[in-house]
Chain A
Amino acid sequence: MIRAVLAVFRRDLALAWAAGGGAAAPLGFFVGATALVPLTAGPDPQTLAVIGPPLLWLTAALAALMVLERLFQADLEDGSLDQLLLSPAPLELLVAAKGAALWVAIGGPLALVAMPMALAMQTPPHAAPLAALGLLVGLAAFIGAGLFGAALAAGVRRGGVLIAILVLPFFAPPIIFGAAAASRAAAEGLSTDAFSFLCATALFFAALGPIGAAAALRQHLS
């Protein structure tokens, strides 16, 4: 069973980083969209220090949305999903492995890039690692919710917009706690309550997302 879970994790990681896997696109989007912020709000450092951390969260959430469309659709179309259902390991765990691979493939690089981007948004140097760490945790929540939305819309052609509509209500709690933690970290250092709420939300979505996603995928295969 663990062997099956690890195999799915390794394969999705390999696929994400292979040519055409699409792991680079959300990263580029994240950097590009964040770079537009000073162009819209003006380069005033004080304004940027206020709106910068929350906007990093917004662009990261949108970047996470980008990879969701093909997540299950490719597996559904080429028949791989049938094979996952025949594994002795429960589909929920295999879906969680796919989510974990996505988190490592997208979330890790994005959190790393978030550090210089946070500095560019006038976040004080001591708070930049906290902002990156928070984003890494928050992306686990986004991906957990995203697995669910992607699974619901797996059989829909050009389902990207539909996934966004389905998933955005579930993005509200992590984005609230995440942006609050980031703002406070910039202002007064680590805020334990905001950060622990963020971690709790991430755990919740990362645990329940795969269960909902597996239930939805079973419907698509029937």
Chain B
Amino acid sequence: MFAYFANPDRFMRISAWALPIATVLAIGLLVIGLPWGLLIAPADFRQGESARIMFVHVPAAWWALGIYTFMALASFAGLVWRHALADVAARAAAPVGAAYAALCLITGSFWGAPTWGTWWEWDARLTSMLVLFLTYVGYMALWAAIEDETRAARLAAILCLAGFINIPIVKFSVDWWNSLHQPASILRAGGSAMDPSMMQPLLVMAMAYLAAFAALLMAGMRADVYRRRAAANAVRRARAA
């Protein structure tokens, strides 16, 4: 897939129509998913109405991890096959991933206030999400700090891959350190423990987040490609003059 999209011109042609489609899809799914989850789906019998924030919180957590995985794959492709577009993709994905992680942390805090009686619970999943957020911040800071873009891309890719190893270790160590959270109920072995009436809007929201990511990613990548072309033109003009 990377080999096919590695051609910037082809990417620009495809994204020219894929970007509006993803945007419309994201808005449409949000328009369906938000009222479904927040108003129509049944309230949780233990946690009551406050559990509805799950429909915003859980997809953010999923895709914060998913986007980091995407970045790690793109970084790997950029390092090994030297595809400039893979570097562009990883760079453009980072702010979206960081925003999702932040959203997950903020909504997790709102959810914790009525449920656990505290605005912040240092449980394993929230803590590793915090570390993931910090990893995103470090990744973006590294990109911003290094002037030579080729070098910045390689270094950021190395950092991204190292972070990809670190996150599970953090998760494990915080798990070991303190485990107060309710067990993960979506991915529990032996099938889902969640009622379909709640599962369906959750999946719609997850698709909405994915579509929003795709749209933001393509928009960011297109902006980056335009910026690089402008910079290359400026150099060319300076050389010609």
Contacts and interface: CB of A to CB of B under 8 A. Distances in A.
Interface residues of B, number: 25
Contacts of B158: 152, 212, 215-216, 219
B185 to A, nearest CB: 25
Contact of B169 (A153, A168, A173, A222): A173
Interface stretch (B9-17, B20-28, B129-137): B129-137
A222 B151 contact: yes
Contacts of B146: 155-156
A172 B173 contact: yes
A129 B163 CA distance: 33
A216 B155 contact: yes
Interface residues of A, number: 27
B109 to A, nearest CB: 19
Interface string B115-141: 000000000000000010011011001
A176 B138 contact: no
A165 B159 contact: no
B233 to A, nearest CB: 25
Interface string B146-179: 1000010011001100110110011011101100
A177 B155 CA distance: 29
Interface in B84-126: none
Contacts of A72: none
A119 interface: no
A166 B141 contact: yes
A162 B173 contact: no
A204 B166 CA distance: 11
A162 B155 contact: no
A148 interface: yes
Interface string A182-217: 000000000000000100010010001000100110
A112 B208 CA distance: 56
A107 B144 CA distance: 32
B151 A220 contact: yes
A206 to B, nearest CB: 14
Interface of A: 148, 152-153, 155-156, 159, 162, 165-166, 168-170, 172-173, 176-177, 180, 197, 201, 204, 208, 212, 215-216, 219-220, 222
9 contacts: A162-B145, A169-B135, A172-B173, A173-B173, A176-B176, A176-B177, A197-B173, A201-B173, A222-B151
